[in-house]
Amino acid sequence: MSQLNHECGIAAVYHLPSENESPLCGGLGAEQASRLLPRMLQDIQNRGQLAAGITSFNQSRDQLIDTHKDIGSVSEVFRLSHRQKCEALMREYSGAAAIGHVRYATCGRDDRSYAQPFERHHLQKHKWFSFGFNGQLANYQQLRDKLLSDDDHHLARETDTEIIMHEISRELSGDRRPPLVEMMRSISERFDGAYSIVFLNALGDMLVARDPLGIKPVCYAKEGPLFAAASESVALLNLGFQPENIKSLPPGSAITIENGKFDIQQYAPIQRRAHCFFEWIYFANVASTLDSRSVYLSRTALGVELAKLEVAEGTVPLDENTIVVPVPDTSKAAADSMAFELGIPSREGLIRNRYSGRTFIEGGAQRRQRAEVKYTPLPEVLDGKRIFLVEDSIVRSTTMKALLHRIRGLGGAKEIHVRVACPPIVAPCFYGIDMSTERELFAPKFLKGGALTQQVQTEMAEALGCDSLRYLPVESISRAVGFPEKDLCQACITGNYPTEVGQRLYQIACEESKTATEAELRTYERHPAFTSAE
């Protein structure tokens, strides 16, 4: 069965009714606010490079809301390198309000129909809507089965985005015209998982919502008549919003713009928070600030944790032949910080091919091939050196094994000591990151449910082909990010999930991993309870 598991990015912009123009629109007028979307999507393209799209609202157009989306990068989809074609698109999809989406996917077809936003046409304006979604519904299969139990319903795709579209449509069916926050409140009661949503209808009403656990990030800003929101703060900062006006949307809250009125309301009770720690470790742009925690400073703090670990063990000489080398780009802040604390140089001994993408989100043979060309070792830096190779995480180990081989063969490094600014990934993610089976993960086959001992790490190092390997302990993450452990989702490093369905799926995954083989399908494909997307 085709399925998609990925991390995505969402964005929204709205020029509210006003006699004043926003200077951030460049003096182009309120109906040109949609022009800001491609720039915003570029700034969060680290979250998705497979497809991109926008939906804009323009009350002067026959197509009150209209969607442009396609397979490709933001630059390709919006023809940013071709001035005339880009300008034609911007004129065609101009509007005072717009939502946007970038998408990562690892399996399934490169099919435009999976690209977002998803638009649903209807004769009634409040039922004609478009939306984009970042996350994953852990209870996708139950929702899907319930919908299909009625012979009148049909689903064209294996994606929980389509499930959300049907759930929204159900809330708007008949004569019901609920306020958007009430619509969100109702559908959230049926969802288990992670989701951040941007929504726009043919009345020009907009909703931006974040799940009650706050697993996925959403940032927003409002200055004068201009409102904007995005998965990460960097997209808002680069538009020109002042840093003090950029805030994170609280979990379980929704921003609504209805009849031109801006409002923020809580739509769901908050029992706990569960921010995805992997945002700070890997996914988010290093220039972003999420929930008042700087991504850069968090990664710097991880480097301090690595240095403390090294000083405590003291097994690797810290002399003139020892250097720290980051695996570009997400490990650089941690590597530089570690080197500073240890008093040794940090050197860029690896140059990344910036067009290779993120290999841990690729499938099978494609991942192996891209890992081979992802980095170029510099022998001028590495030859004869003892290096601390700092990586943000090891998921499947495909990239790390290929990298170690190239560093020794082409770089000429004397010793390679891998230091990972993250604990071992031991459990699948059911909330939108492509780590779908325990079997495909590197660490569990060594840990076997036990503790991370020095002997286990020695066995891992031998399997990878490095001289030594050290992971950070779990408690380092909360110290570095600045949240207590109870406020973070650390399921992939602890096996403790923040939702009931997530925990149940993990139990099934553990049972299935005992009999699964490498050649078998992924967990989501093998077991109907795991069939999910987005």
DSSP 452-472: --HHHHHHHHHHHT-SEEEEP
CATH of domain 293-497: 3.40.50.2020
pLDDT of residue 365: 52
497 neighbors 506 (Cβ within 8 angstroms): yes
Query: What's the Cα-to-Cα distance from 52 to each of 38, 45, 84, 105, 430, rounded to whole Å?
Result: 9, 9, 20, 12, 23
Name residues of the chain where pLDDT drops below 70: 1-6, 105-110, 151, 355-372, 436, 515-534
Peptide bond into 498 cis (omega under 30): no
pLDDT at residue number 393: 94
pLDDT in tens, 161-199: 999 999 999 999 999 999 999 999 999 999 999 999 999
What is the per-residue pLDDT for 307?
98
CA-CA distance, 490 to 498, in Å (whole number)?
9
Question: Could you tell me the CA-to-CA distances from 250 to 93, 191, 220, 257, 285 in Å, in that order?
Answer: 31, 18, 10, 17, 20
* Helix intervals (H) in 94-216: 140-148, 160-171, 180-188
For 317, residues 6+ apart whose C-beta sits below 8 A from its C-beta are 386
Instruction: Report the phi/psi class of residue 169: left, alpha or beta, with left for phi > 0 and alpha for psi in -120 to 50.
Output: alpha
Distance CA 386, CA 324 (A): 9
The CATH label, of 3.30.420.40, 3.60.20.10, 3.40.50.300, 3.20.20.80, for the domain at 8-274 is 3.60.20.10
Question: What are the residues facing 318 on neighbouring strands?
Answer: none
Tracing tokens 């400073």 back to the chain, one arrives at: 297
Residue 1's pLDDT is what? 24
User: Which ranges of 375-453 does DSSP label H, i.e. alpha helix?
Assistant: 379-382, 398-406, 444-447
For the chain, domain boundaries: 8-274, 293-497
Q: Rounded to whole angstroms, how far apart are CA atoms 5 and 531?
A: 10
pTM score of the predicted model: 0.91
Tell me how far the alpha carbon of residue 204 is from its chain's centroid. 28
* Helix H or strand E encompassing 197: strand 193-201
Q: Looking at the annotation, which residues are catalytic?
A: 8
Tokens of 47: 């979250």
Q: Pairing mode, if any, of strands 226-230 and 8-15?
A: antiparallel
Tokens of 373: 């060309």
Q: What is the DSSP letter of 88?
A: H
Neighbours of 51 (CB within 10 A): 26
Cα–Cα distance between 525 and 519 in angstroms, integer? 12
User: One fold for both 8-274 and 293-497?
Assistant: no
Q: Identify the pLDDT of residue 533.
A: 37
Pairing mode of beta strands 275-276, 488-489: parallel
Who contacts 13 (Cβ-Cβ below 8 Å, separation ≥6)? 33, 34, 36, 37, 40, 97, 98, 226, 227, 228, 229
For 426-476, write each residue's pLDDT tens digit.
Answer: 999 999 887 767 778 999 999 988 999 999 999 999 999 999 999 999 999
What sign results for the dihedral spanned by CA atoms 246, 247, 248, 251? Answer: negative
Specify the amino acid at residue 428.
P
What contacts 14, CB < 8 A, 6 or more positions away?
33, 96, 97, 98, 206, 226, 227, 228, 257
Take residue 183 and report the two structure tokens written for it: 């619509």
Strand order in the sheet with 386-391: 322-326, 386-391, 415-420, 468-471
Residues facing 247 on adjacent strands:
220
| pLDDT score recorded for residue 524 | 41
Per-residue confidence (pLDDT) for residue 361, from 0 to 100: 44
Provide the token pair at 266: 């809580």
Residue 524 backbone class (left: φ over 0; alpha: ψ -120 to 50; beta: rest) = alpha
Per-residue pLDDT at 156: 76
Query: What pLDDT, on the 0 to 100 scale, is given for residue 529?
Result: 44
Rounded CA separation 333/331 (Å): 6
